Amino acid sequence: MNSPHQKLPGPGGAIAPRARVVIAKPGLDGHDRGAKVIARALRDAGYEVIYTGLHQTPEQIVATVIAEDAPLLGLSVLSGAHLSIVERVLALLERQDAADTKLLVGGIIPDADVRALEAMGVDAVFTPGAGIAGIVETVHRLTTHLNDALEPAC
């Protein structure tokens, strides 16, 4: 599918492996255009992308995050069920000691819900019109310090 060991120049010109990220489609919504575009864009940017496929329960998604040891999860929801789904995903991550997983949400999401999601602990929310470059940049920012943390302190 994609090459997990692909190395791209990291910040400051250093060669660092990019993080493993999970892109998921929770719930019954089958509109996966956005999820697939983001998955491709992140893969092209050097990330190892695990795409869950359609119709995933919060339990299945969190199990994938844990099994893949992914530091970042992107959820795509266009059905209006985002608040209920994100609440359950966050609770499950917490229960699995994975509350430090970075969480991005994309979809048709009203402004008030964007603020609600951020208050719940979502790291970034993207709505229609969000550019690919900006999303990749955000993923980069959210996962970069993780790479730094892997470096032994000296």
115 binds another protein (CB under 8 A): no
Give the separation between CA 40 and CA 51, rounded to whole angstroms: 10
Q: Which stretch binds another protein (CB under 8 A): 12-20, 26-34, 66-74, 89-97?
A: 26-34
Q: Which stretch binds another protein (CB under 8 A): 11-19, 65-73, 131-139, 144-152?
A: 131-139
Q: 68: closest CA among 101, 92, 39, 43?
A: 101
Long-range contacts of 7-15 (CB under 8 A, 24+ apart): 7/46, 8/45, 8/46, 10/144, 10/147, 11/144
Closest distance of CB 124 from another protein, Å: 16
80 binds another protein (CB under 8 A): yes
Nearer CB in complex with another protein: 40/147: 40
Site string for another protein, 29-68 (x = CB under 8 A): xxxxx--xx-xxx-x-----x-x-xxx-x-----------
